[in-house]
Chain A
Amino acid sequence: MVPLTRSLRAEVAVAGAALAITASLIHQAPARATVTEPFDTTVTIDAGTMDATVDPAQAGANDIHMYFADPSGAELAVDAVQVTAATAYVPARRLTVTPILPNHVTATGASLPSSGTWTIEVTAVRQGVPLVFTFEVPIR
């Protein structure tokens, strides 16, 4: 009788521990949701291509890097870049752009406050000729 009681007590203790651990885990976000993967895309137009990276592609502040290349893939120096962001519910607004290299600009801490699909329009001017690149980025 005594061994049975002891066994039952141990089993109840283990069950309680499992229940407590499970209860604590229900408040944790799934691992897949917590992974922050940047969004990468390449936009090609006649005058060249633009590689864009949006990091972390989540609602809130994002860093957007844009790299420009000519049709042969060589670096394309641009003189000025203007970037706007919009959604179906938020009208296009301009993002602050910082030139890093002749072919590389960033929009650091760009506010994309809501999840959904954002439309990013990039206007780069090279020797007086505007080049317009547009892409959509899904924000989680």
Chain B
Amino acid sequence: MKLRTVATAAALGAGAIALGVVGAAPAGAHSGGGTIVVEQVHPAGTSIHYIVLVTWDNDGHPAADATVTATPVATDGTAQTPFTLAPSGAGDGRYSGAVEFPEPGDWTVRFTSIEPTGTIDQAQTVTPSATPGASGGAFAAADDGTGASSGGGSDEAGDGDSIPVLLIVGAAIVALGGVVTALLAIRRNRPDLAVPAAATPTDTGTPTAADTPTAAGTPGDTGSPTAASSPGDTDTPVESATSATATAIAGDAIGGAPAAGPADGAAAGETATTAADPAGDAPSEPR
């Protein structure tokens, strides 16, 4: 009788333990909320780079697959467009990213995570950059060392440099083609230029256009002598105009190159600024 009682108690105890194990969450499961800890802050003007650590509240494990954002909130409570923080890639629960503040001053940065859900507010005083070159915030990320924005800026600058080179090469090809076409058209429409017999020792270089090329003595070389011939030569205006056009194009291109330098610099700055604008240009969004 006593043995039966002990066996029954043991069975009930085993059942209770089994139910407890079944009801418990698996060792690897995560649920509930999370905790966000701001580990590093790298100010660079109005762009501030943050590194945060997100962990699960139930077991303290790092949250490797969370959605993490940082939202600048003004002193009047107005929230700006959130910035998404990217995971470190190491699965250690760390997320980082640069937050662009519209203007210096006192701000609150609200860090928010989903899976696990958590939020933390951190006061942030934003000061203008000390270096004049970074006052616009364009190079703040480069100073920050994150390279996120600086890479984009340099790419934009690179694109800006490459386009004028292509334009110059294209303009030169078009100008050269125009010159060749003009010369061929002139030779085709002026059969007298191709007749070597027209050259006579009596040609004194007077303003008779047809005689001038043949004075060079090489029928196929009509281009250069014609260009150097007298004003009466009908070839001259054509070639001069073409050359002038080519010069003008080259001049534009060459003249544009130095101008493109500062312009590119400005463009890079603007680009970097624009890159942050998806948040900053928020009011321009149609809806």
Contact = CB atoms under 8 A, between A and B. Distances in A.
Interface of A: 67, 77-82, 94, 97-102, 104, 123, 125, 127-128, 130
Given A79-B71, A82-B114, A99-B69, A125 B80 contact: no
Contacts of B117: 125, 128, 130
23 contacts: A79-B69, A79-B71, A79-B119, A80-B68, A80-B69, A80-B112, A80-B114, A81-B114, A82-B114, A98-B84, A98-B278, A99-B83, A99-B84, A99-B279, A100-B285, A101-B81, A101-B285, A102-B81, A102-B82, A104-B287, A123-B114, A128-B117, A128-B119
A108 to B, nearest CB: 12
B79 A102 contact: yes
Given A100-B278, A104-B285, A79 B81 contact: no
Contacts of A127: 110, 119
B42 to A, nearest CB: 22
B81 A99 contact: yes
A99 B67 contact: no
B114 A130 contact: yes
Most chain A C-beta atoms within 10 Å of own C-beta, residue among B82, B83, B119: B82
| Range class of the B interface residue count | 20 to 34
A67 B279 CA distance: 16
B12 interface: no
Contacts of A130: 114, 117
Given A67-B287, A102-B80, A125 B112 contact: yes
B136 interface: no
Which of B67, B83, B113 neighbours the largest number of chain A CB atoms within 10 Å of its CB? Answer: B67
Given A79-B82, A97-B84, A123-B114, 18 more contacts: A67-B287, A77-B79, A79-B71, A79-B110, A80-B69, A81-B114, A82-B114, A99-B69, A99-B83, A99-B278, A99-B279, A100-B285, A101-B81, A104-B287, A125-B114, A125-B117, A128-B118, A130-B114
Interface string B107-124: 000101111011100000
Nearest to A102: B79
A97 B68 CA distance: 11
A75 to B, nearest CB: 10
B244 interface: no
Given A127-B119, A128-B118, A80 B113 contact: yes
Interface string B21-41: 000000000000000000000
Please indicate which of the listed interface residues A67, A78, A94, A99 has the most CB atoms of chain B within 10 Å of its own CB.
A99
A78 B285 CA distance: 16
A138 B128 CA distance: 50
Interface in B75-105: 79-84
Nearest to A65: B287
B235 to A, nearest CB: 56
A128 B119 CA distance: 5
A94 B66 CA distance: 11
B282 interface: yes
